[in-house]
Chain A
């Protein structure tokens, strides 16, 4: 198995799927000549030409709509948002068109398309550029929402997303692009809606997705040194959510901490907690706790930005709390 970056894994998925199906095309800002704002689409223009790798003006609502139109009549668009922060301008097409088209048309018009791009905060990009949107999108019936945390998952899930006949929002992590991991040489596809148990332990379940997978794994590693063993359940897809995987883990550990990048109120973790209380009420030995971004817009200054973000120490503290361990 080769060790490649998350960026390369995504690039491979795009390349393989575009080669496999000539209805698939990539459209977005700087995807072609500039080779991608984050170089995810590197080399694709050269390989597939300008009809299939299309630079757009800065016109998110417009090109998201172009994607919807093309999908209505049989193409399979991949619409790249330079970051999901800018997708807010396009939400009308994502939510009012793509997500509802099949339903409104009584099944006549599936939307086999992917909206993708980096999500969440990076470093010191301040309030307008540091937002994790998966809970917003996961709220919408008619969408699937995928949030991969590793190169392996990024590749296999993006391939599945492109092959899916439904609109899939695919949220990458800007801070993950350079992270590395093993990716098989042979082709593979990871089904959407299946969680992955990234680490096993009996004491507490860490339920997470996206960029926070790495945070949860690091926390679990450090906790293991103190003899605390955690399950790390990587949801990978937050809609549909793999309830069975969550329930199985919590029934085993009897305790859970949900870690997510975004805000607390109505976050993904709130939904996880609901599934847990409904399905594992008699199994719980402690209230489920959540680790998330502070309930504020993201500030610029380094120290307060750090304070705002969920991280390893906050995760460790939450696990100890559900285990009633005082430090």
Chain B
């Protein structure tokens, strides 16, 4: 089947990225892999240098002032996620939050890198590890914390909890608990965008363990076959629960899976927000203007246990490994780069941190004071009410 509307119309309308030969920024660090070069990837990389320079442009605004503003805003988004998660862990420990709760600490550059480049009318879908993406998208810390507390002012009124954050007004499509289940849904959103002739994109975040699930392959095939404007973003944090990627996937370079569907693909250093942004910009442009999907493997690391019920280091990874990765803390990396550039003073850092901590505290106070959902809400929204008019 062929979706009814051709994407050609918006290729003409959508702002094509110019191939201006901007200086290749040091920020653009597509991670090297020890694997043999994948000819398809290098081929594509060679063919798209135009967007690459545009990508580096995105990270290096012309004036120092713009750069500082951009980098400050990225740092702010990342630090908000970090501080929010730290307090979430605390609230979980004292029983304010229940159920399964998966923290995003260590992966903040991924959500931030992608979501900072999206338009308001774009879409996001993700897994149960969703607090970071929700905050990066602009869901208020209050709405997220109240949801974690199971209160009426939560983003879904206390029905969903940690794993099921949604906000229609933000194009934030969840918060899904079944590994792999949301990937075909992302393809469905891509289909609807194309169907309507729009030029939005959908970013689908997933863990690296999800690529072993059939739903991943079914979704990628359809997205490639029908040229859907989807970004499939694999947050490779090395583990699916206690299973290292090498123990679960026949191919360790996850991005190569895109080859099966002839899908543009790349592997990116997920601790470097600029590298993430460069890759994101290119993929977003490809989806927006060519209605083409992209598969991106973002190499990151889970600083905490799988969930609040899993030990931080556990038996499946060593303390040494954890410590090695902790040194590449995405927030510290950005902070030190900004300090080097003269864009962040100690006082500015402290002020930002204090401000964020206050915002997070406010979200806790707010959640604490938000009422629990009334009993009759249990029966609301099982079905759309079709009896009344």
Interface residues of A (CB under 8 A from B): 29-30, 33-35, 37, 55-62, 85-86, 88-89, 123-129, 294-297, 299-304, 307-308
Contacts and interface: CB of A to CB of B under 8 A. Distances in A.
Contacts of B99: 123-126, 129, 300
7 contacts: A33-B247, A89-B214, A124-B161, A126-B164, A129-B99, A301-B150, A304-B158
A34 B316 contact: yes
Contacts of B377: 299, 304
Q: Which of B158, B372, B375 has the most CB of A within 10 A?
A: B158
A45 B377 CA distance: 46
Contact of B164 (A55, A61, A88, A300): A300
A58 B151 contact: no
Contacts of A301: 150-151, 158-159, 161, 372-373
B378 A59 contact: no
A33 to B, nearest CB: 6
A57 B164 contact: no
A129 B176 CA distance: 11
A296 B164 contact: no
Interface stretch (B44-52, B237-245, B341-349): B237-245
Q: Which of A37, A294, A300 has the most CB of B within 10 A?
A: A300
A136 to B, nearest CB: 16
A127 B164 contact: yes
B373 A89 contact: no
A56 B375 CA distance: 41
Q: Which of A85, A86, A89, A304 has the most CB of B within 10 A?
A: A304
Given A124-B99, A125-B99, A126-B161, A29 B243 contact: yes
Interface stretch (B23-31, B205-213, B260-268, B282-290): B205-213
B302 to A, nearest CB: 15
B69 to A, nearest CB: 38
B254 interface: no
B197 interface: no
B1 interface: no
Interface stretch (B32-40, B54-62, B177-185): B177-185
Contact of B180 (A30, A58, A304): A58
B94 interface: no
Contacts of A86: 178-179
Contacts of A55: 243, 247-248
B159 to A, nearest CB: 5
Contacts of A61: 214
B-side binding surface: helix, strand, loop or mixed?
A: loop
B243 A123 contact: no
Interface in B72-127: 98-100
B213 A58 contact: yes
A33 B379 contact: no
Given A57-B249, A300-B158, A307-B375, 9 more contacts: A30-B242, A35-B315, A57-B240, A89-B214, A89-B215, A294-B379, A300-B99, A301-B158, A301-B161
Contacts of B243: 29-30, 33-34, 55, 57
Given A123-B98, A300-B99, A59 B212 contact: yes
A57 B100 CA distance: 21
Contacts of B378: 294, 296, 299, 304, 307-308
B382 interface: yes
A250 B176 CA distance: 44
B163 interface: yes
B151 A37 contact: no
Given A30-B242, A126-B164, A304-B378, A59 B373 contact: no
Contacts of B215: 89
Contacts of B98: 123-124, 300, 302
Contacts of A308: 378
A296 B178 contact: no
B188 interface: no
